[in-house]
Amino acid sequence: MTSLDNLTLPVRLRANEPGILLIENFLSPEDCAELMNLSLPHLKPSMIYNSQTGSLEPSTTRTSHGTFFDWGANAVVSRIEAKITNHFGYHLEQQECIQIQRYRVNQEYKPHWDYYQPHLGSDNAESLRNKGQRIATFLFYLQPAKQGGGTVFPEMGLHFTPKAGSLIYFENIKQLPEDFELQPLSLHGGVPVLEGEKWIATKWIRQPKC
Ligand SMILES: O=C(O)CCC(=O)C(=O)O
Ligand SMILES: [Fe+2]
């Protein structure tokens, strides 16, 4: 896990346990606009795997539309991936590919944990076995909603409504000397958009391979 004490970035807001940072101007306005433009033709409703029926269904917890880009898919994605490595030390092998989400009025992502809970289904257990736990999350605000649509951490009493280009970084686990444990206080969600469109990009970070 990255030590947040040595960051050379201007931190606007910060919490400990779990580590949560708000960093403004992490992405340029041009990069935000380009990611939205490139995503637009590919957006699809967020789906969720129903382990009972074995099929994909529209998610009721995340009602946004989304898409993703492979690692290094274009210059903007490569820049973001390099910045994550340079500033936070997470190598590309630890980074999941970038996801883009667009929330329209009334769309939201209900409070959830980003870490995998194997008892919630075989998909979770398999992903955990193959790629390791999701230890941290990068949320990039490409465009905030005009009203509503912030990111909340209900257990921490935090509610962010960041500007375009901002990064919310948070840790989903608590680092112990030799091990880690899941951090339930990392519960978070995207509150419903009331006006306009909210666009974010997400990068989940897996535990390093030993
Ligand atoms: O939309 C938000 O503010 C939260 C998104 C989120 O939690 C995620 O992508 O994992
Ligand atoms: Fe999340």
Say if the ipTM goes beyond 0.85. Answer: yes
Of 96, 170, 200, 205, the one to substitute when testing ligand 1's pocket (max ligand atoms within 8 A of C-beta) is 200
Residue 25 confidence (pLDDT): 97
Q: Give the whole-angstrom CA distance, residue 71 versus residue 95.
A: 9
Of 202, 203, 204, the one to substitute when testing ligand 1's pocket (max ligand atoms within 8 A of C-beta) is 202
Q: What percent of the chain has pLDDT over 90?
A: 73
**Phi and psi, residue 152, nearest 5°:** -115, 150
Contacts of 202 (CB under 8 A, 6+ apart): 98, 99, 100, 101, 137, 138, 139, 140
Contacts 24+ apart (CB under 8 A), 118-123: 121/49, 121/51, 122/51, 123/49, 123/51
Distance from the CA of 112 to the center of ligand 2, in angstroms?
Answer: 6
Q: How many domains does the chain have?
A: 1
Instruction: Evaluate: CB of 192 within 6 angstroms of ligand 1.
Output: no
Instruction: Evaluate: CB of 188 within 6 angstroms of ligand 1.
Output: yes
Residue 5 confidence (pLDDT): 80
Distance from the CA of 206 to the center of ligand 1, in angstroms?
Answer: 17
Q: Print pLDDT tens along the chain (210 aa).
A: 777 887 888 889 889 999 999 999 999 999 999 999 999 999 999 987 776 777 888 888 999 999 999 999 999 999 999 999 999 999 999 999 999 999 999 999 999 999 988 677 777 788 888 888 999 999 999 999 999 999 999 999 999 999 999 999 999 999 888 889 999 999 999 999 999 999 999 999 999 876
Residue 210 confidence (pLDDT): 65
Residue 121 confidence (pLDDT): 73
- pLDDT tens sequence across 77-99: 999 999 999 999 999 999 999 99
Instruction: Evaluate: CB of 145 within 6 angstroms of ligand 1.
Output: no
Residue 123 confidence (pLDDT): 75
From start to end of 62-126, where are the E strands? Answer: 65-69, 98-103, 109-112
Which atom of ligand 1 is nearest to 160's Cα?
Answer: 3
Structural domain including 52 reads 4-206
CATH number at residue 131: 2.60.120.620
Residue 54 confidence (pLDDT): 76
